[in-house]
Amino acid sequence: MTTIETESLDRLLAAKSIAIFCGPGGVGKTSVAAASAAVAASRLGGKVLVVTVDPARRLADALGLSALGNLERPVPPERLKAAGLEVRDGLWAAMLDTKQSWDDLVLRHARDEETAYRILENRLYHNITARFVQSHDYIAMERLHEIHAEGGYDLIVVDTPPSRNALDFLEAPERMADFFGSRLLRWLTMPYRVGGRRGARMVNMASRPFYQVADRILGSQFLEDIAEFFLNFQTMYEGFVARAKSVEALLHDRRTTFVVVSTLETAPLREAEFFVSELQARKLHLGAVVLNKTLPDYLLDEAGDAAARALVADPGPAAEAASRAEPDLDPAAARRALATIGESFLNFEVAAKREAELRSELGRLPAPVLRVPAFEEDIHDLSGLARLGECLFG
């Protein structure tokens, strides 16, 4: 399969309706996703939504997301305009509220209201939705499906949740389906189904090794709590599994693309490469790889290197020449400053070379690789996003 080489996200996002931005933590994924959404809304038109997980506060404020909750909100057009972004059909933003999304899910799939409330009030449920690692990942995908199914947007840009394993969210729908359909779950809850909810619990079952072990580790009361919770939860099984399956189908849909974001540092890049190979193994569409916060190319110039070395070796002649041109300049201070900036250039040159090496090791990727320079300032407002976005759209 050949991929058309594009130097920008322009054509990719014009052809897709869902773009999922993923990659290791700390690489500026949220900014890249938000910038792509903002510039897509202005360049490509159409109604664009960016769903983000935990943006830095100033960025959230810039997107008008200061309030919590799952609500999708329009980014004020006049603010976009002030940042140089002419948006025709609107840029919207939403934050993912895990707890609320789970509650909605339970209310939608529970057999009846009573079951729903029994689940919602269960303390295990609170623990699971708050602490369960995969719950965050699953609900992000579930929410994406929900928004997509409503058909309110031309393009949905998703900033994936930070997770220990960048792939968790891909596996989440499948794992959820497996989990609720598993024989083990039926096995674990069997004594409670046979003997009624509390009554003659574990008459025969209790003698089996599995329950003995489980009992000794977890304690029978806890085991009973778990079983009760999952018996209730299991009533949602069919709706849940059907849903998980369609979430998975959506990820494989040809209108969905994945953009992997990384920096040119060893550890994040290795994670990103792993991610790329996993996407390929799962036959998911890799749209682009974005290398964020890269150092500028002029650091690799030979002329700069030569000048820096000369300044470090002997800043005297340059300091004298500069002092003659700028009468206010103190020659001694000029000498110190020139030696320092020569040293600093050589330092940054080492870092830039390290990045260049990593980039060449990246090898052939089946998708365009885009570079975003390190901006001197953090991206925290709409004009910052516009600047970043320009780099991605060429």
Q: Would you say 175 or 371 has its CB closer to other proteins? A: 175
Q: Which residues pair with 262 in a beta bridge?
A: 291
CB count within 10 Å of CB 35 equals 28
Euclidean distance between CA atoms 69 and 200, whole angstroms: 44
- Tokens 């018996």 label which residue? 231
CB count within 10 Å of CB 55 equals 21
Q: Would you say 90 or 316 has its CB closer to other proteins? A: 316
Judge whether 41 and 84 are in contact, CB under 8 Å. Answer: no
The stretches of the chain forming alpha helices (DSSP H) are 10-15, 29-43, 57-62, 77-82, 98-109, 113-121, 123-131, 133-150, 168-181, 183-194, 209-218, 220-234, 237-252, 266-281, 302-313, 316-325, 331-361, 382-393
Closest approach of other proteins to the CB of residue 154, in Å: 29
- DSSP conformation letters of 216-245: HHH-HHHHHHHHHHHHHHHTTHHHHHHHHH
Judge whether 294 and 286 are in contact, CB under 8 Å. Answer: no
Closest approach of other proteins to the CB of residue 307, in Å: 4
Closest approach of other proteins to the CB of residue 161, in Å: 8
Closest approach of other proteins to the CB of residue 43, in Å: 27
Q: Would you say 144 or 334 has its CB closer to other proteins? A: 334
Q: Would you say 86 or 314 has its CB closer to other proteins? A: 314
Judge whether 74 and 92 are in contact, CB under 8 Å. Answer: yes
Burial pattern 343-354, b for ≥16 Cβ within 10 A else e, equals eebbebbeebee
Q: Would you say 153 or 233 has its CB closer to other proteins? A: 233
Q: Which of 200, 133, 120, 152 is nearest to 51 (CA)?
A: 152
